[in-house]
């Protein structure tokens, strides 16, 4: 990068200048030594050495002046090189911080675009006739439950980003799922107290949906999921009465890891950067180094609510708040990149 080239050039100029001034100072010391020896020999020579002593004194004076000049030159160059280095470092950090803040925004935008599609999926599938029929009369006709389960399985074969899809009746009992062969204990589970079910049943219309933060689901083999839900309504109508709930479970970890590890960084940057997604509480919900997932919080310093960067010791932290996507406003997540400050 141009900023790094400026810093490297400044350090190289400083190094060469120091090297050459050291040579001048070495020559000055040698000149002084020669001048001193010449004055001693001139003194021994008596009257015959008087003229030579004048030359020796001039050599000594010359050496002193050169020494003074080299000292002044060293100070002047060091001062200006320091200013160049500071300006170059500030320019480099500003460029790097701004670029990484933009990449942080890009990371969280990509995931929000993905999750926007999940919000569309759940609202669409909740109007599917097989799903509506299962929620309406499944308790009376087991064949309707089998048809709904088959329909969910068909959806899952096309939408491989989901671990499972569940239908709960109005009381919160799971009556259908799409992967009964993999998740054997789902049917009959009571989810009436689960956040996704309660939020779904409180949605005002079929245009609304509920979303929960990333969490592990014990029934789904403790996998980390993003859960979306909405009410299943009478006849699948937008303003129909809620008769059950549809919950869809996005397989979060592999999708999120692909995004944080796919950021457009150079090979050198990848070795010194950690790309993360943080939830609204700064909990790490994805990390390019696979550390701290759903266990650690990152000490993000919000010097600006939407986008900023700052230095933290030997590291730089850049971040950006989710801007949301279309009708999906997001959950207050942040894209974040922690990077080592380059040394030269």
Q: What is the pLDDT of residue 32?
A: 63
- The more confident residue out of 154 and 4 is 154
Element housing 19 (H / E) = helix 2-45
- Per cent of the chain over pLDDT 70 is 74
Q: What span, in angstroms and rounded, lies between the C-alpha atoms of 166 and 145?
A: 11
Q: Give strand pairing partners of 273.
A: 339
Q: What is the pLDDT of residue 70?
A: 66
**pLDDT tier for residue 93 given thresholds of 50, 70 and 90:** confident
Question: Which tokens belong to 219?
Answer: 């029934």
Average pLDDT, the chain: 86
The yes-or-no verdict on residue 138 having pLDDT over 70 is yes
Average pLDDT of the residues in 71-77? 66
Neighbours of 116 (CB within 10 A): 17
Question: Which tokens belong to 116?
Answer: 């926007």
The yes-or-no verdict on residue 315 having pLDDT over 90 is yes
Entry pTM: 0.76
Q: Which fold has domain 2-93?
A: Helix Hairpins (1.10.287)
Tens of pLDDT, residues 181-238: 999 999 999 999 999 999 999 999 999 999 999 999 999 999 999 999 999 999 999 9
Q: What is the pLDDT of residue 2?
A: 47
Burial-class residue 264 by CB neighbours within 10 Å (0-12, 13-18, 19+): exposed
What is the distance, to the nearest Å, from the Cα of residue 79 to the centroid of all Cα atoms in its chain? 37
Q: How is the chain split into domains, by residue range? A: 2-93, 117-255
Asked whether the beta carbons of 187 and 175 are under 8 A apart, the reply is yes
Q: Which residue has the tokens 């998740």?
A: 183
Q: What span, in angstroms and rounded, lies between the C-alpha atoms of 162 and 194?
A: 19
What is the architecture, at CATH level 2, of domain 117-255? 2-Layer Sandwich (3.30)
């Amino acid at each position: 990068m141009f900023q790094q080239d400026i810093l490297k050039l400044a350090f190289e100029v400083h190094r060469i200048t120091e090297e050459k001034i050291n040579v001048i100072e070495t020559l000055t010391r040698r000149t002084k030594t020669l001048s001193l020896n010449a004055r001693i020999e001139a003194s021994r020579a008596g009257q015959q050495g008087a003229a030579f002593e004048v030359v020796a004194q001039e050599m000594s004076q010359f050496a002193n002046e050169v020494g003074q000049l080299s000292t002044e030159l060293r100070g002047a160059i060091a001062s200006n090189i320091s200013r160049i280095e500071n300006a170059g470092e500030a320019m480099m950090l500003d460029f790097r911080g701004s670029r990484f803040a933009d990449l942080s925004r890009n990371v969280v935008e990509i995931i929000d675009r993905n999750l926007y599609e999940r919000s569309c999926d759940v609202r669409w599938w909740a109007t599917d006739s097989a799903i509506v029929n299962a929620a309406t009369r499944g308790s009376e006709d087991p064949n309707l439950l089998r048809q709904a389960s088959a329909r969910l399985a068909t959806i899952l074969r096309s939408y491989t980003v989901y671990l499972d899809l569940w239908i709960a009746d109005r009381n919160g009992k799971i009556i259908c799922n799409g992967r009964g062969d993999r998740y054997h204990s789902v049917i009959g589970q009571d989810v009436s107290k689960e956040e996704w079910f309660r939020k779904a049943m409180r949605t005002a219309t079929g245009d609304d949906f509920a979303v929960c933060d990333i969490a592990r689901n014990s029934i789904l083999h403790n996998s980390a999921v993003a859960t979306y839900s909405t009410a299943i309504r009478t006849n699948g109508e937008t303003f129909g009465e809620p008769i059950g709930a549809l919950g869809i479970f996005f397989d979060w970890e592999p999708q999120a890891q692909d995004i944080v590890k796919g950021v457009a960084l150079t090979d050198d940057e990848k070795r010194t950067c950690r790309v993360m997604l943080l939830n609204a509480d700064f909990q790490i919900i994805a990390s390019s180094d696979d550390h701290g997932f759903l266990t650690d919080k990152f000490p993000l310093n919000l010097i600006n609510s939407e986008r900023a960067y700052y230095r933290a010791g030997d590291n730089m932290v850049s971040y950006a708040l989710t801007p949301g996507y279309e009708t999906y406003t997001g959950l207050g997540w942040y894209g974040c990149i922690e990077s080592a400050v380059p040394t030269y």
